[in-house]
């Protein structure tokens, strides 16, 4: 994280850079004057037919240009060439906003470069819940999954408890979770409901579950810090914010994501918590399914919201 001094230095360099840009114009004018001098020397040589006069004026003009004008011009061009590096340095100090007690983030300079508000709002409005039936079946690269989990880790958290916990299920572990879900539905639901539920889930397993790259169990650690027991609703709200972070980043990547509440009888059963390595008091808030999707298929997803004004009371 760059310091405020680093930002100040960047701003100073940018000011100097702007001055150098303006100086290029004056250097150019000087060059024109020297070139005119050289032309005059050539004309004088033609008029007088004197090689000595021509040579003297030419060498004088060339020497003046090499000694006085060229070095300043090169220095100005070198500073102008630093502009991309200055922009990159400014971007490097834009990771966070000032830290609050609840977020626990590191403080950053007030001059930090942030994404444009319109761009952020556009990303939020483009987020979609994409159903697994539309996944292509290709695997989401591990590095992209890790980026999503990193995004989740920067959710707001009261008391800095960071209660979110995630279990990434792929391959055999994913099938084990599906098997457990089917078994719990078969044994824990009333017989008539169990039959209908199993029929529906089996169809999904045959047609869509295989397209899912991974299932991320969304979990809440009830007491993430031994010395702090925050209200449960606050901890679950923090986990939900973490999932939204993942959903927004997935949208920017073109990765399909869908938060499923899963089967209630299986979701928070002791067996499921054991499979996920959770304590009995912890909560399971469903699963985030991830998958790949073709652009044209993703473009077919539409969403709408009623006016925000209908849901807001503004009192003065």
Which residue is it, tokens 């890790």?
A: 146
List b or e across 246-266, with b for residues whose CB sees 16 or more CB atoms inside 10 angstroms: bbbbbbeeebbbbbbebbebb
Tokens of 169: 């299920």
- Quickly count: other Cβ atoms within 10 Å of residue 41's Cβ: 20
The pLDDT mean for the chain works out to 82
* Residue range 156-191, pLDDT digits in tens: 999 999 999 999 999 999 999 999 999 999 999 999
Query: Which residues 6+ apart lie within 8 Å of 169 measured at CB?
Result: 177, 214, 215, 216, 217, 287
Please indicate, yes or no, whether the overall pTM of this predicted structure exceeds 0.75.
no
Task: In whole angstroms, give the CA distance from residue 262 to residue 251.
Answer: 22
For residue 100, what pLDDT band results from cuts at 50, 70 and 90?
very low
**292 close to 255: Cβ distance less than 8 angstroms:** yes
Would you tell me the crossing angle of helices 191-207 and 171-188 to the nearest 10 degrees? 160
For residue 37, what pLDDT band results from cuts at 50, 70 and 90?
low
DSSP, collapsed to helix, strand or coil, labels residue 228 as: strand
Listed range (27-31, 106-110, 283-287) with the worst mean pLDDT: 106-110
* Residue range 199-236, pLDDT digits in tens: 999 999 999 999 999 999 999 999 999 999 999 999 99
Task: In whole angstroms, give the CA distance from residue 231 to residue 224.
Answer: 12
Tokens of 235: 């901890």
Nearest C-alpha neighbor of 221 from the set 167, 292, 183: 167
State the chain's maximal CA–CA distance in angstroms. 117
For the segment 13-20, the average pLDDT, to the nearest whole number, is 48
**220 close to 165: Cβ distance less than 8 angstroms:** yes
* Residue range 245-303, pLDDT digits in tens: 999 999 999 999 999 999 999 999 999 999 999 999 999 999 999 999 999 999 999 99
DSSP, collapsed to helix, strand or coil, labels residue 137 as: coil
- What DSSP element (H or E) covers 113? none
- As a three-state string, the secondary structure of 157-223 is CHHHCCCEEEEEECHHHHHHHHHHHHHHHHHHCCHHHHHHHHHHHHHHHHHCHHHCCEEEEEEECCC
Q: Phi and psi for 97 in degrees, rounded to 5?
A: -90, 175
* Residue range 44-91, pLDDT digits in tens: 666 666 666 666 666 766 666 666 666 665 665 554 454 444 444 444
Q: Given CA atoms 17, 21, 26, 32 in this order, what sign does their dihedral have? A: positive
**What is the total residue count of the chain?**
316
């Amino acid at each position: 994280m760059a310091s405020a001094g680093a930002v100040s230095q960047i701003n100073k360099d940018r000011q100097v850079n702007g001055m150098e840009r303006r100086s290029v114009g004056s250097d150019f004018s000087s060059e024109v004057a020297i070139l005119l001098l050289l032309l005059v020397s050539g004309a004088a040589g033609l008029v007088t037919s004197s090689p000595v006069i021509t040579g003297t004026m030419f060498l004088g003009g060339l020497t003046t240009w090499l000694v006085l004008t060229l070095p300043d011009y090169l220095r100005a061009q070198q500073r102008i060439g630093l502009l991309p590096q200055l922009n990159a340095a400014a971007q490097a100090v834009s990771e966070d906003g000032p830290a609050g007690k609840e977020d626990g983030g590191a403080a950053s300079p007030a001059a930090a470069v942030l994404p444009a508000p319109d761009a952020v709002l556009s990303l939020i409005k483009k987020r979609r819940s994409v159903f697994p039936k539309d996944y292509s079946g290709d695997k989401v690269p591990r590095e992209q999954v890790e980026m999503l989990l990193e995004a989740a880790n920067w959710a707001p958290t009261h008391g800095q408890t960071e209660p979110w916990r995630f279990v990434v299920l792929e391959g055999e572990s994913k099938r084990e979770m599906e098997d457990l879900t089917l078994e719990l539905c078969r044994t824990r639901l009333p017989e008539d409901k169990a039959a209908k539920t199993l029929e529906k889930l089996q169809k999904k397993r045959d047609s869509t579950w295989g397209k899912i790259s991974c299932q991320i169990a969304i979990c809440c650690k009830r007491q993430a810090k031994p010395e702090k027991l925050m209200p449960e609703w606050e901890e679950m709200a923090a986990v939900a914010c973490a999932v939204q972070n993942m959903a927004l980043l997935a949208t920017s990547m073109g990765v399909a994501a869908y938060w499923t509440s899963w089967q209630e009888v299986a979701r928070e059963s002791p067996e499921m918590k054991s499979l996920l390595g959770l304590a009995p008091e912890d909560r399971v808030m469903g699963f985030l399914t991830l998958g790949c999707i073709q652009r044209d298929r993703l473009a077919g997803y539409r969403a709408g919201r009623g006016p925000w004004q209908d849901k807001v009371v503004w009192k003065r």
